[in-house]
A and B are shown apart, each in its own frame.
Chain A
Amino acid sequence: MKLTDYEEALLAGDFGEPRRQAMSRIVEIGRFFDAEDCVEVAQAHIMADTEALGEAGVEHLEGLTKYAEEDRWVKIPTITDPRGADLNAYERIKQDERFVSLERRAIDAFRALGVMMTDTCINYQTVLPPVKGEHLAMGDTGVVIYSNSVQGARTNYEGGPAALAAALTGRTARYGFHLDEKRRGSARFELTETPQDWAEWGALGGIVGNAMGSYFQVPVIDGVTGTVPTSDDLKHFGAALASYGSTAMFHMVGVTPEAPDLQMVFDGPPPDAVTIGRQDLKDFMASYGGGDDSLDVVVFAAPQLSVMELERLAGLLKGRQVHGDVSLLVATNPENKSAADRFGFTDAIEGAGGVLLEGVCFYQMHARELGEANGWTRLMTNSAKLTNIIGGYGYDPVLADMERCVDSAVAGRVV
């Protein structure tokens, strides 16, 4: 790999041991993917909830804090993905104290490295939206796919240790979605009908994701008609696509910035299209939630909710009461929680018996143990991403739109 003088100095340890280790890993990954050189990144975003970190990961972070500040402080603005516990609300949902104390240790360590604890997977809606052409090191699959596809920024999936290496050096290896040629379309899907709500956009993401074979495939969606999809529509679509497909980028013809028309997206003639219609969306949603109408918990999360989603949820819950046998959980980030407090949404949601959590996401907060502590098995959500993940944690998920989820929470059974 061709390195600059600065990168060589990092590698030689001139800027301290943490940065030497970080640069050495970047070079190792660069060689693995045949990167010719490194690229400067403007921001890093670290996925490091304690469920993923484990005790060993937390100890690693604590080890870094022992170095002098000039050797350990991040080089570029660095933010975090949702954490494993909401320190203000964990007792309300019976979360085990041992996870919370591990979480506190991780937070202390990150602060000592200069990391901003944004605790969010919707930083593109709330912190600093990426810009077309900007190189980034983003650490959440939903953030990566949104940044690449909707905003035209350039990032690979940067797992926790890799995003941390980027934070300490301001660099990542130039491969994958940093390169023009890797961002071209490789498969084509034609919609006969445009999804109508967030759950349907997620279902579409699931259908396309299931058809993807590798990280480096880029699906192209054509046939979107009517009103331009909102940021929340594309958030649900992208998050589900990334979850089901391990996919990092899509194009939506006439919507996303690198896809003005079908010819521009492909090298050569466009491949034959796979058609997706209303029945496919219905079949996908019906593939979850067979069996009886029992219900334990309704979850709105994955990704965290925007202010607009919170507004809609507050409106649906206003003046109603969640059934006594059912829990209703909502996850957003600290910024939107503060906004929800000011706008009266928190009162509407919690007044109806829901719990509005901040800085967490449901599947990243030790969901298996949480389910066992509360007796939750039957879970209802409007997030296709959550439906995909949560089965592995011992839940039996049902996928439906927000309105039906709320009606079910109030009725105490799946309606």
Chain B
Amino acid sequence: MADLIIKGHAGIGPAVKGEALVAHDNFSARYDLDRVKGVFSRPAHKLYGENFVDKILVLNIAKGGVATAWMLHTMKQRAMAPAALLLNWANPIIAQGAAFADFPLIDRFEEDITGQIRSGDRVRVDPASGTVTVEGRG
């Protein structure tokens, strides 16, 4: 089966591949995550209870305060980070956090990214070209 290729804006961080975890909901490291256990901890979040470690996280908009800029780095140091973050809309804080942690981030896709990838999909992420490849979904 061929692969599905999705184009976004050129992103930040190295190329990676992994399994997708997807929801049409927003993202804040400080408010949504238990950063010690590696799970979504805000009850109102659509991924509540899901383990995000080493997943390609696919969500809608980056929200929340400035603390997230430090937190991606700490999560990566502890091996408690997602593998990459794909968003419809990033904000400066998440971009700064990704640049500081050398963490893969792409946003501004041609269509709603949360509608194009499904949880469990095998995904390759190339921030330099802003390209996401979903294996076997062409």
CB-defined interface of B62-76 with A at 8 Å, one 1/0 digit per residue? 111111111101100
Q: With an 8 A cutoff between CB atoms, is A53 at the interface?
A: yes
Q: Which one, B4-12, B17-25, B46-54, is touching chain A?
A: B4-12
B12 to chain A, nearest CB (A): 6
Are A28 and B91 in contact, with the CB atoms below 8 A? no
Complex: A264 Cα to B10 Cα, angstroms? 35
Q: With an 8 A cutoff between CB atoms, is B90 at the interface?
A: yes
A381 to chain B, nearest CB (A): 17
Are A156 and B73 in contact, with the CB atoms below 8 A? no
SS of A interface (majority): helix
Complex: A11 Cα to B105 Cα, angstroms? 22
Are B92 and A176 in contact, with the CB atoms below 8 A? yes
Are A33 and B66 in contact, with the CB atoms below 8 A? no
Assuming the contacts A51-B67, A214-B61, asked whether A29 and B74 have C-beta atoms less than 8 A apart, the reply is no
Assuming the contacts A56-B77, A57-B73, asked whether A159 and B64 have C-beta atoms less than 8 A apart, the reply is no
Complex: A187 Cα to B92 Cα, angstroms? 21
Are B31 and A392 in contact, with the CB atoms below 8 A? yes
CB-defined interface of A46-58 with B at 8 Å, one 1/0 digit per residue? 0110011111110
Q: With an 8 A cutoff between CB atoms, is A139 at the interface?
A: yes
Question: Which one, B65, B77, B97, contacts A141 given CB within 8 A?
Answer: B65
Question: Which one, B9, B70, B91, B95, contacts A160 given CB within 8 A?
Answer: B70
Are A29 and B91 in contact, with the CB atoms below 8 A? no
Q: Considering only CB atoms and an 8 Å cut-off, how many residues of chain B contact the other chain?
A: 33
Are B100 and A52 in contact, with the CB atoms below 8 A? no
Complex: A331 Cα to B130 Cα, angstroms? 45
Are B93 and A159 in contact, with the CB atoms below 8 A? yes
CB-defined interface of B95-106 with A at 8 Å, one 1/0 digit per residue? 111011000010
Q: With an 8 A cutoff between CB atoms, is A25 at the interface?
A: yes
Are A162 and B70 in contact, with the CB atoms below 8 A? no
In chain A between 21 and 50, which residues have their CB closer than 8 angstroms to a CB of chain B?
A: 25, 28-29, 31-33, 47-48
Q: With an 8 A cutoff between CB atoms, is A60 at the interface?
A: yes
Q: Which residue of A lies closest to B11 (CB)?
A: A32
Complex: A56 Cα to B63 Cα, angstroms? 23
Are A160 and B69 in contact, with the CB atoms below 8 A? yes
Complex: A153 Cα to B11 Cα, angstroms? 28
Known contacts A47-B66, A52-B67, A157-B66; 18 further A-B pairs (Cβ under 8 A): A25-B96, A29-B99, A32-B11, A33-B92, A47-B67, A53-B74, A54-B70, A56-B73, A57-B70, A157-B92, A158-B66, A159-B66, A159-B96, A160-B66, A161-B70, A162-B92, A214-B91, A392-B42
B: residues with CB less than 8 A from A are 9-12, 30-31, 42, 61-71, 73-74, 77-78, 89-93, 95-97, 99-100, 105
